[in-house]
Amino acid sequence: MNTDIAIIGGSGFIGTNLSNCLDDDEINYTIYDIVEPKKNQNYKYLDVVKPETFDQIDGSKCIINLAAEHKDNVLPVSKYDDVNVRGAKNVCDAATKFGINTIIFTSSVAVYGFTEPNTDENGDINYFNDYGRTKFLAEEIYNEWLQEDTKNRTLIIIRPTVVFGEENRGNVYNLLNQISSNKFLMIGNGKNIKSMAYVKNVAAFIKFSLNFKKGKHLYNYIDKPDINMRSLVSISRDMILNKKGVGISVPGFIGVIVGKVFDFISLIFNKDLPISSIRIKKFLSTSQFSSATESIGFAPPYSLKEGLKRTIKNEFFQKNNENNCS
């Protein structure tokens, strides 16, 4: 494949894995970001909130936009709108200006909010936070861009669930790290189910989507089968500590109260803490989704359990240099 791809936000977690994945097939790409990638790659500075930095993507055939403000409790809230919504508008304006007819956008299942189990791509939009809200508003901007020229343009929107993997410092890592340090306290009965996605599988699906035909394509991304929190904790404790079960547990309502105390401390000291009420509510909630990816012939390189094993091995036992898709 001889496609020149602009990966905006490509220095981050998904972008790093995607670039390694594209390297496997010698696909041409350039990373555009405000931060230079860790490894020596074709990189140029670009800030999605600054339209004047987009001129250098002229000549690209496809834009993959991974740039996002995604952390919990970001202040001021306007940062979500600046990066996620204004950024989407700037991407579309640049694509129109330079005649780039393919955009791949990583949205999120956060657009569904706390929804019914096994919600698919037709699920109701019912976001509960500013991240989900601005991701959906960005989708609407991309949809408007597509409608301006449906005969020639391709729009691919991918809504991943919680993405985890090596070198990430998100919620899954925080959970594993607490288990590793013997500081983990099980909150609730653990029967709530979580859909998850291993980052190398997400990267492989993005690469897979480069071959999609013109028009709109919308997919949730989940690695099946789903797992409940009790099983996730139990498997992780067994792998990391060689201990069975989930250890000490407390009722869910106590966890929420503790989370609110940490919210107050975070506000007073203006510091992001690993525990917050929103993170505990997410921990206690069922977030189970379904996806049509299997129906189009995509087979992820790794099972969910394999991804978890690789992550634990890399983070808590030994560092490895396997960076590609396979």
Residue 29 lies in a domain: yes
Total number of domains in the chain:
1
Q: Is residue 55 part of a domain?
A: yes
Instruction: Please report which residue ranges of the chain form alpha helices under DSSP H.
Output: 13-24, 78-80, 87-98, 130-147, 171-180, 199-209, 229-241, 252-269, 277-284, 304-316
d(CA 89, CA 11): 21
The predicted-structure confidence for 195-210, as pLDDT tens digits, reads as follows 999 999 999 999 999 9
The pLDDT of residue 324? 61
pLDDT > 60? residue 323:
no
The reported pLDDT for the residue numbered 279 is 82
Q: Please report where in the chains the tokens 């060689």 appear, as a residue.
A: 242
User: Token digits for 89?
Assistant: 């508008």
CATH of the domain at 158: 3.40.50.720
Q: In the chain, pLDDT over 90 holds for what percent of residues?
A: 83
> What number of CA atoms fall less than 13 Å from residue 24's CA on the CB side?
15
In a domain? residue 261: no
pTM: 0.90
Quote the domain boundaries for residue 63: 5-168+193-224+288-298
Instruction: Please give the single-letter amino acid code of residue 65.
Output: N
pLDDT tens for 213-249 read 999 999 999 999 999 999 999 999 999 999 999 999 9
User: 267 lies in a domain?
Assistant: no
Residue 213 within a domain:
yes
Catalytic residue numbers?
Answer: 131
d(CA 255, CA 314): 30
**Which pLDDT score, from 0 to 100, does residue 321 have?**
45
Q: Is residue 161 part of a domain?
A: yes
Is 312's pLDDT higher than 70?
yes
Using pLDDT thresholds of 50, 70 and 90, give the confidence band for residue 83.
Answer: very high
Establish if 71 belongs to a structural domain: yes
**Inter-residue long-range contacts of 270-277, CB under 8 Å, 24+ positions, other chains counted:** 272/71, 272/73, 274/174, 274/178, 276/72, 276/73
